[in-house]
Amino acid sequence: MELKDLFKLSAITLALTMTAACDSDDDKVTEEVVEVVVELTAEEELEAEYLEATGETADIEIISGTITSDMTLTADKIYALSGPVAVGNDNEDSTILSIDPGVTIFGETGNDYLVISRGSQIEAEGTATDPITMTSKADVLGETVGAGQWGGLVILGNASSNKCPDDGTTCSLQVEGAFDGAVFGGTDDEDNSGTLNYLVIKYAGYEIESGNELNGITFGGVGSGTEVDYVQVHANADDGVEFFGGTVDVKHLVLTENQDDSVDWDNGYRGNMQFVLIKQHATEDANRGIEADNDGSTPELEPFSNPTISNMTIIGGSFDGDDDSEGIYLREGTKGSFYNVIVTNALGECLEVEGNSVSQGHLEDGEINFHSSVIACEENFKNGSTDDFPSVTMTDLSTWWTASATNSGNSTADDMAAVLNGIFTIDTTAVTQPTGTFFDTVDFIGAVKDSANDWTAGWAVGLED
């Protein structure tokens, strides 16, 4: 019998003895034993499973429903999500969920996920030695792990999106993957949804239906007052991170073995990113390092998606399926400025820009621009398709890469070995420093300079080979 079953079936047995003397000549005694079975709570059952799997005891607390008063998760417990868990109601019951260093939170199914509602905050402040982990039950129990074993993290804010109404009415956009009423968007681009520091999310992602999925982290209308620094999404079933509008900035981001796109943005995202390391699985499911959109039906919709990215490394893989391993795909009217970027090793193209007239126009007017960047794939460039857009004149990307007046310092290399040693940059291209106080001054391209300056060490996972 398994230990968990022993706990369930075992009980506190109370022997209740009843005696009666029939007469003075007959000393018969009757006894009746009544067993009282005490059922374990759901938390006790989880603790029994954990004890059986690991040989260790744990205090496991189940979190469910909507949290409407400030709550702190501490490292002396393990926390289990039961169904969708919301922090605060939409712009009501403003609530702060604080998470201490070293805390582990897990889910068991795709319907177990955490939502930070508009007007509420998450303060997840781990450290390099004690990161916060959000993962699957299978991982916690030491069982077989894989993508899609629980839902993920959804953060919703009041920053703008180009899908918000332009007639002055309230913006409330339903986010992908979450329960009805999980909405985002507004007019406060400096909105603050809290802090993510040293947070690792593993084995999440869930497809509700095609085009409606939970990502590792979904940022819906999240504002620039939010701090995101030292965060990883590993082995997610959909995108690693996706930004629906908003202005949130991100620094020190690791995205490994995610099965769709590592970074995805849409609908007017205008944040900054620096030090972004993307490493796809060497052979298994992956699509793009970046899949970037403005708006599919109206590519010229404003405000345009227009992030600025510096010091990114994209290491592709050899996956060849319906969606190959690829580097960067800019489409549906997105703008973007890219500095000190390395894209390499993808089976498909390193860089593609969709053939619609808005995207092609951004190549010509400099609204898409690259600086001090190196690409090294079997197919470095893929031009827009005249089959899809027969009336549009396509820019030749291989010429544009080095000849455009709004680009600078770009080149191509033979292969990954020419630019990287593992995750470390060996290419010596001179850097171009982006403007703005967000960006640290650097003397290297790519995400990680060398082993002496390895900001992933000690807390990130999946980078061993």
User: Across-strand partners of 151?
Assistant: none
pLDDT at 286 over 90: no
The model's confidence at residue 6, banded by pLDDT at 50, 70 and 90, is: very low
Specify whether the backbone of 372 is left (phi greater than 0), alpha (psi in -120 to 50) or beta.
Answer: left
**456 vs 31, higher pLDDT:** 456
Q: What element of type H or E holds 242?
A: strand 241-244
Query: pLDDT per residue over 9-57, tens digit each?
Result: 333 333 333 344 444 455 555 566 667 776 889 999 999 999 999 999 9
Note whether 346 and 289 are within 8 A (CB).
yes
Q: How far is CA 450 from the centre of its chain?
A: 25
What's the rounded mean pLDDT across residues 298-327?
Answer: 90
Tens of pLDDT, residue by residue over 130-160, are 999 999 999 999 999 999 999 999 999 999 9
Residue located via tokens 């034993």: 33
Average pLDDT over residues 326-338: 97
Listed in order, strand segments (DSSP E) in 100-237 are 104-107, 113-116, 121-125, 132-136, 152-156, 173-174, 183-184, 194-202, 206-209, 212-214, 217-220, 227-234
Residue 350 has pLDDT above 70, yes or no: yes
pLDDT of the residue at 347: 85
- Mean pLDDT over all residues of the chain? 92
From the list 241, 224, 249, the residue with the least C-alpha distance to 158 is: 224
Q: Which H or E run contains 68?
A: none
**Residue 453 token pair:** 């300056």
pTM comes to: 0.92
Q: How confident is the model at residue 289 (pLDDT cuts 50, 70, 90)?
A: very high
pLDDT at 152: 98
Predicted confidence (pLDDT) at residue 401 exceeds the cutoff of 90: yes
Name the residue ranges covered by the structural domains of the chain.
62-453
- Looking at the chain, the whole-number percentage of residues with pLDDT higher than 70 is 91
Task: Check residue 455 and give left, alpha or beta (phi > 0: left; psi -120 to 50: alpha).
Answer: alpha
- Cβ–Cβ under 8 Å, residues 68 and 23: no
Is residue 127 classed exposed, middle or buried when 0-12, 13-18 and 19+ CB atoms within 10 A define those classes? middle
Which of 261, 213, 214, 256 has its CA nearest to residue 233? Answer: 256
357: part of which helix (H) or strand (E)? Answer: helix 357-365
Instruction: Give the three-state DSSP class for 206.
Output: strand
Q: What is the mean pLDDT of residues 59-87?
A: 98
Residues in CB range of 200: below 8 A, 6 or more apart: 131, 132, 133, 134, 135, 231, 232, 234, 459, 460, 461
Which tens digit of pLDDT belongs to each residue from 412-449?
A: 999 999 999 999 999 999 999 999 999 999 999 999 99
Q: Which residue has the higher pLDDT, 13 or 382?
A: 382
